[in-house]
Amino acid sequence: MTEEQLKQILTEEINTAAPDKEALWARIDALLKPKATPAKRSVVPRLVKIGGFAAACAAVILLVPAIFNLVYFKSNSNNAIVGETASQDRPSADRNGNSVHLEEPASNADRVDSVSESLPSAKLLRYDELSFPSYSQTLLKCSGKPFGGEYFVEEDILAQTDVIIRGRIDKVYKTDDGSGICYDVTVTEAFSGAEISSSLTVVSRSPYPMCRGREYLLLLSEDENGYHTVFDNVPQTEYTADGGMVYFNGWQTLTTDSSCALLYSEQPDAFFYDRMMYSAAGDPSHLIAAWSDIRSL
C-alpha cells in the first residue's frame, strides 16, 4: 500500500467519522457565553516584514515613546507651517492655513491604543465591494529594484517624502531602460505647500502597479531625474469613487474612526490579502500633519 493510498483512506475515514458540521456548531453556539464588554483591543497595524529581522527593529523604533514623541509632537519653533507657540499643545495649520489643534499623546503606546480602540471590530469589507472610477489595469512589469527598501517604517517614509499629492493616473508606460514604470499624473490636490505643477511624471518600481484612471495619494521624492515614489513595496494608497481610501495597514496616520479591515485579494495566500484597510473618510490630514512635523525637524 502506498502512502497516497493511506492518505486517501485516512481522509475518507476522517471525513466519514467527523460529526455533522452544523449540528456540532449548534451545540457549541448554545454554550457560548456572550462577552459582556467586548474588549476592543488593538489590531496593531503590522509592519511588512519582507526578508526577516528588520521588522523587529522597525517595531522597536515605532514603539519607543521617546522617539515617537520626538518625531511627531516635539515642539519646534522653526516649523514653517505651524503658527508655533511654546505651549505643549501646538496648533498646526492645514493646507488652507486653518489652525488644526493636535493633541499630544502621553506615549506612543497610548496613541496606538486610542487609534485602534476606535476601529470597528467586526466589519470586514471586500475590495471588490468598493466602487472605483473606470480604469485600465496595468500589465507592465519593470526590472528595477523597488524604491524605499524592503521594510515599511512610517516615520522613515515620511522623512524621505518631498511632495504629497492626490493625483489621477492619465498614462502608464515603461521607462526607456525598462527599470521602472512612468505614470503621467494630473494633480488634483497638492499637500506640500510648495509650488507643484498641475501635472507631473512619477516613476515607480513597485510590484503593485497603479491603474490609469484611478486616483492615489502619492508620497513622492524629487531628485535630479524628477519625481519617484518613496516606498514601493506596498500598494499605493488609492481613492475610491466615493472619496474613501484603501491603504496599507501600516499607515497609522491614515487610520480614523471610519476605518475597517479589508480583504484585498481573492487569494488568501496573497501577501496583502488581509493587510489593507478602508477608510470611508479618506482623510489624509493626520498623515500630512505628521509629515509636516517630521520635515520641520
* Residue ranges in contact with another protein by CB under 8 A: 1, 3, 5-7, 9-15, 17-19, 21, 24-25, 27-29, 31-35, 38-41, 43, 46, 121-122, 124, 261, 268-269, 273-275
CA distance 281 to 255: 9
> How far is CA 187 from each of CA 31, 184, 216, 224, rounded to the nearest angstrom?
56, 10, 10, 20
In the complex with another protein, the residue whose CB is nearer, 69 or 258, is: 258
In the complex with another protein, the residue whose CB is nearer, 14 or 86, is: 14
Minimum distance of another protein from residue 268's CB (angstroms): 6
- All cell numbers assigned to 154: 512610517
> How far is CA 29 from each of CA 17, 25, 34, rounded to the nearest angstrom?
21, 6, 10
- All cell numbers assigned to 132: 472605483
Residue 273: what residue type? Y
3-state class of 110 per DSSP? helix
Minimum distance of another protein from residue 270's CB (angstroms): 9
Minimum distance of another protein from residue 114's CB (angstroms): 16
In the complex with another protein, the residue whose CB is nearer, 33 or 101, is: 33
In the complex with another protein, the residue whose CB is nearer, 49 or 74, is: 49
CA distance 19 to 23: 8
CA distance 236 to 286: 17
Minimum distance of another protein from residue 257's CB (angstroms): 16
| Other CB atoms within 10 Å distance of the CB of residue 56 | 11
In the complex with another protein, the residue whose CB is nearer, 126 or 171, is: 126
Minimum distance of another protein from residue 29's CB (angstroms): 7
In the complex with another protein, the residue whose CB is nearer, 3 or 176, is: 3
CA distance 26 to 38: 22
Of the candidates 241, 266, 279, 238, the one whose C-alpha atom is nearest the C-alpha of residue 118 is 279
Minimum distance of another protein from residue 275's CB (angstroms): 7
